[in-house]
Amino acid sequence: MPPRWIHKHYTFRIVVTVTPDDMEIPSGIQDKLVPERVVDGLPTMYCFETCPFCFKVKALLGSRGIEYSKVEVDPTFKTQMKWSQWGKVPIFVDVDGTQVTDSNYILHYIDSNDSNSFPRMGDDLDQDRWMEFSNEKLGKSIVAVIYTSYWTSVQALDYVTKVDNFSFGSRLINKWLGGFIMRMVGKSRAKMFDLPPRDNLQFQLDLMSTGIEGDFFGDDEPNGADYANFGILRSMQGLNGFDIVENHKIVSGWYGRMQKHSGV
């Protein structure tokens, strides 16, 4: 008589305990005020010098002539941001301690409290589309180009050797270990696209150029999409791959106008 197999079915219940630190922090204006994080009584931005998302905010602040303080964050250990659950740059802290996270939300916050010169999120679908493009396509595309090799990665992180408030050991770690880490990040971003990094950036610029109507995305005057995409590309200036921007027949002209407008 052939053996009989007995199948037993087991039900497993997995219990996951979620602590406040594990919960996703929403983008935008945060509930908690942090006036102690304001430096010199001015709006304060916590940032990396070469961060493309930080350059978005710098471009808007520059265009409005808004004076602000800047806290340079250690890109490896983020010591200067241990107070924040968000943990990513930029973080903008207004003079009353209001903290705002995520670069596109920060752009809207600053504009709404200044001249209110471009539409709020949800009021202009084209602007929203191109602001999202800056995060999801353009930002990832430039990372794949800038950090295309270990050497270009180290070159991009050379600025940390000149940051006074970083210790000597921190500068070395951020440059040489940081270069290795960012090379890995560059590889992961490159895998998101079908084309090789340089070809992909060219493709994204071609696509982006279709949204530039008149002198800017906002036609006669820059809107949120202009600051968002200019900031991404401004972070490339002087680094590997910026020649692609300089040689683009439409984007190069727009870039020059945005640089003059923002002073960044």
pLDDT tens for each residue of 136-154: 999 999 999 999 999 999 9
Span between the terminal Cα atoms of the chain, in Å:
85
Contact 90, 106 (CB under 8 A): yes
| pLDDT at residue number 19 | 31
What strands lie across the sheet with 99-101, from one edge to the other? 28-29, 99-101, 91-93, 44-47, 69-72
| pLDDT at residue number 143 | 97
Contact 148, 179 (CB under 8 A): no
Average pLDDT value for the chain: 90
Residue 103 included in any domain: yes
Alpha-carbon span 245 to 72, nearest angstrom: 27
Residue 40 included in any domain: yes
Number of domains observed in the structure of the chain: 1
pLDDT exceeds 90 at position 53: yes
User: Quick one: 39 exposed, middle or buried, by C-beta within 10 A (0-12, 13-18, 19+)?
Assistant: middle
Q: Is the dihedral of CA 213, 218, 221, 227 positive or negative?
A: negative
DSSP letters for 162-174: G-TTS-HHHHHII
Residue 144 included in any domain: no
Q: Which range marks the domain in which residue 51 is found?
A: 24-113
| pLDDT at residue number 15 | 33
Residue with tokens 């705002």: 100
Rounded CA Rg of the chain: 22
Where is 112: in which H helix or E strand?
Answer: helix 103-113
pLDDT, one tens digit per residue, over 154-199 is 999 898 888 877 888 888 888 898 999 999 999 999 999 999 999 9
Residue 106 included in any domain: yes
Residue 228 included in any domain: no
| pLDDT at residue number 13 | 34
Mean pLDDT highest for which of 9-13, 41-45, 82-86? 41-45
Q: Give the 3-state secondary structure of residue 23.
A: coil
Instruction: Indicate the range of 10-24, 51-65, 215-229 predicted with least confidence.
Output: 10-24
| pLDDT at residue number 3 | 40
Answer whether 0.85 is exceeded by the pTM. Answer: yes
Residue 99 included in any domain: yes
| pLDDT at residue number 24 | 67
Tokens representing residue 28 in the block: 């935008």
Residue 56 included in any domain: yes
Long-range contacts, 245-253 (Cβ 8 Å, 24+): 245/205, 248/202, 248/205, 248/206, 248/209, 250/209, 250/212, 251/205, 251/208, 251/209, 251/212
Higher pLDDT, 160 or 250: 250
Mean pLDDT value of segment 247-253: 98
Mean pLDDT value of segment 78-94: 93
| pLDDT at residue number 77 | 81
pLDDT, one tens digit per residue, over 18-33 is 333 334 678 899 999 9
Residue 94 included in any domain: yes
For residue 63, give the CATH number of its domain. 3.40.30.10
